[in-house]
A and B are shown apart, each in its own frame.
Chain A
């Protein structure tokens, strides 16, 4: 059976970056409904549309290119992009739509974080990173510990005019990775340095096709 599964490429910037992951799903459901596009829904008591984001986006994250896949009851025309972009809230933009005939996974990604912090920030940050610290995270009682350099391929800290820019190249292993925000948080706690995040952006995400 032929399934109409589509891959939507989109970008996200402020203010839409402050919409949570769940709210994003609901927002797209509503937009599809407004455009009179019938989506496939799950069966059962509380049916919901089959919209899947390849990478969930934390609140506040901007991105140059993200992907969600959606199953439709119908075939989509490419002109859908235009209609979509007309009604999307500020910050969201559909870039490309394609039929999803294969499966993709994230292989690695590039981040840029901008923080407001003291002059010497980069010096201390380098010092911190050299130690290859571990990031501990607790979620619903489960503690995960990740060594930074198992996931960070490279990073760079530089002072710009208004803020400090920290770039990361992050590896994704079995769907898991380290969030730059968590690294920054860990650092600012350990060094007791106040660092105020003013922007976090995924500038590039690389995918690999899988069968």
Chain B
């Protein structure tokens, strides 16, 4: 209680105090004295971002279903709050009971993006814990981490005791059972970690030795003993219909980034874009039955009261009969003044009508992600969007009164030439032309956004070099100069250095953990926030650690190099990735899993659409 009182006194003087009060609709209340395990779910970013994360909500409620566990939440406090906490001697606390982090049994981090790595360390520090796993003895919390970034866990290896690879719904319960045995017996931490490693989907980095070649590449990654698996296989939930999904979902009191109910309609993506990590790690595609979606949608509206429900997936149009489902939901949603949103919809005539019908509130904006400016390059990356289709959709959209078009592209893709960069300009120009041809006079808004290609682990492009900063700059300028000539076009590009650091961290190895720690010491945090990101600080840390960051970002690897993340088994074989990479070089496309199975290897999981084939 004392911590709570102290915290509340600080809140009169900080930005957005609502971040620190907890007490939300459907927050789980338990007596901490009456549980065996206290679990702190930590999200390494501010409240408004963390509370928009669906994974957090699923695991929070799943864990709290257990009577013997109390799962609470902690987020990264904003810098003003950090200062005040430090002054008053308050450690990072949970929002449920205002318990300080070092009093928990297990601390679980959600790793959604690499740029939050410094925040992970900062949160441990604010929680009064030693950063290194080795320095945390029995009696101190075990630190685990899950989420998409764990597919290359190595940069954080020193700090995390156990990484959970893949979907956490089942593994986490197994870890808790094991932890209970550990807590209430004289099992040592080392024994605990060894037993953890035996759980499928658990990667315990301290149980592996990494050796390097003289050129800095990895020679070998070897488990310390025979009982430790040579590779860690990801876990999946085989059937979404029988798996856990919370319908009494915790709902924030203050506005968060995605301020709506999120309902997952399927997992995975069958398209196989060659740059996309999500498309690989979330394989195979598993659909949730329409009846289930409908039932959940109703319950969620009843329990949360939100005015918007978002049907999420990686590629919404691929859900069978999405129109029908959306219209079914609309039937009861409309009456309750609830809106439906359908993110990641592929745009064509049918979906345009659907959008018009269901997404009533939002300003009608059409979003396309062709990713590359020419058909040639789109074939290289296996992005199946035809330019003609964009134009015909745009034409229909203009006729229906849409006035905002957003276009997303990537610069620096493998095999990119200046023609491809100019292709982006051509698309924007043609869209503006169409508008003019239709005889419209009013101003419109065409937004072109480019990000820089970041080669990601476990993708067919994992071996590729990222463009140098100079090249990025040159291409951006080329595009910018040309887009200036087109009326009503706005151009925005992603920070070069941010993309650089993302490339370094996402393909990093164990040597980076020292770098990250040093960066935190130098004051790096909230790297994903433009106002805080400072690449020069990072450069300094790399220098001090005597590491050239270009080794990780700008270097092309050979197919037979041992990669830091080879230890992780996504089910997709390296042969498949290699084959896809070679096809990319030839500009040949691969069909989607819906058309035919191209043998990526994930069928071994015996789940989702691969089994039905």
Q: Which residues in A have some Cβ–Cβ distance to B below 8 Å?
A: 14-16, 18-20, 22-23, 26-27, 29-34, 39, 41, 45-47, 49, 59-60, 87, 89-91, 116, 196-198, 200
Contacts and interface: CB of A to CB of B under 8 A. Distances in A.
Contacts of A27: 253
B336 A33 contact: yes
Nearest to B9: A198
Interface in B1-50: 8-9, 11-13, 17-18, 20-25
Contacts of A19: 18, 21, 253-254
| Residue among B11, B306, B361 with the highest chain A CB neighbour number at 10 A | B11
A33 B361 contact: no
A132 B302 CA distance: 53
Nearest to B254: A23
A161 to B, nearest CB: 15
A60 B23 contact: no
Contacts of B13: 196-197
A27 B305 CA distance: 9
A60 B12 contact: yes
Given A33-B307, A59-B17, 6 more contacts: A14-B21, A16-B21, A19-B253, A26-B255, A33-B337, A196-B13
B361 A91 contact: no
B17 A90 contact: no
B121 interface: no
Contacts of B306: 30, 33
Nearest to A27: B253
Interface string B336-365: 111000000000000000000000010100
A63 B477 CA distance: 56
19 contacts: A15-B22, A16-B23, A18-B20, A19-B18, A19-B254, A23-B253, A27-B253, A30-B304, A30-B306, A32-B305, A33-B336, A33-B337, A34-B303, A34-B305, A39-B337, A60-B11, A60-B17, A89-B23, A89-B253
Interface in B74-93: none
Contacts of A116: 9
Given A19-B254, A60-B12, A47 B21 contact: no
A109 to B, nearest CB: 20
Chain A interface SS verdict (over half): mixed
Contact of A30 (B251, B254, B363): B251
| Residue among A15, A22, A39, A200 with the highest chain B CB neighbour number at 10 A | A15
B17 A33 contact: no
Given A30-B306, A34-B303, A87-B25, A14 B8 contact: yes
A41 B18 contact: no
Contacts of A30: 25, 251, 304-307
B145 interface: no
| Residue among B253, B302, B338, B363 with the highest chain A CB neighbour number at 10 A | B253
Nearest to A59: B17
Contact of B307 (A15, A29, A60, A91): A29
Contacts of A18: 11, 17-18, 20-21
A197 B17 CA distance: 14
Contacts of B25: 30, 87, 89
A116 B21 CA distance: 21
Nearest to A26: B255
B21 A41 contact: no
The list of the 9 closest CB pairs from A to B, nearest first, reads: A30-B305, A15-B21, A34-B305, A18-B17, A33-B305, A197-B12, A23-B254, A89-B23, A90-B23
B18 A20 contact: yes
Interface in B292-306: 301-306
Contacts of A14: 8, 21
B98 to A, nearest CB: 10
Contacts of B251: 30
Contacts of A90: 23
A33 B338 CA distance: 9
A15 B254 CA distance: 12
A9 B328 CA distance: 38
Contacts of A197: 12-13
Nearest to A22: B255
A198 to B, nearest CB: 5
Nearest to A181: B12
Given A23-B18, A33-B337, A59-B17, A46 B9 contact: no
A22 B18 CA distance: 12
A198 B20 CA distance: 16
Given A18-B11, A23-B18, A60-B17, A89 B307 contact: no
Nearest to A199: B12
A182 B24 CA distance: 30
Nearest to B8: A14
A181 to B, nearest CB: 9
Given A27-B253, A59-B17, A60-B17, A46 B361 contact: yes
A20 B254 contact: yes
A29 B23 contact: no
B22 to A, nearest CB: 7
A20 B588 CA distance: 54
A146 B303 CA distance: 46
| Residue among A14, A33, A45 with the highest chain B CB neighbour number at 10 A | A33
A104 to B, nearest CB: 27
Interface in B558-612: none
Contacts of B17: 18, 59-60
Interface in B311-342: 336-338
Nearest to B255: A23
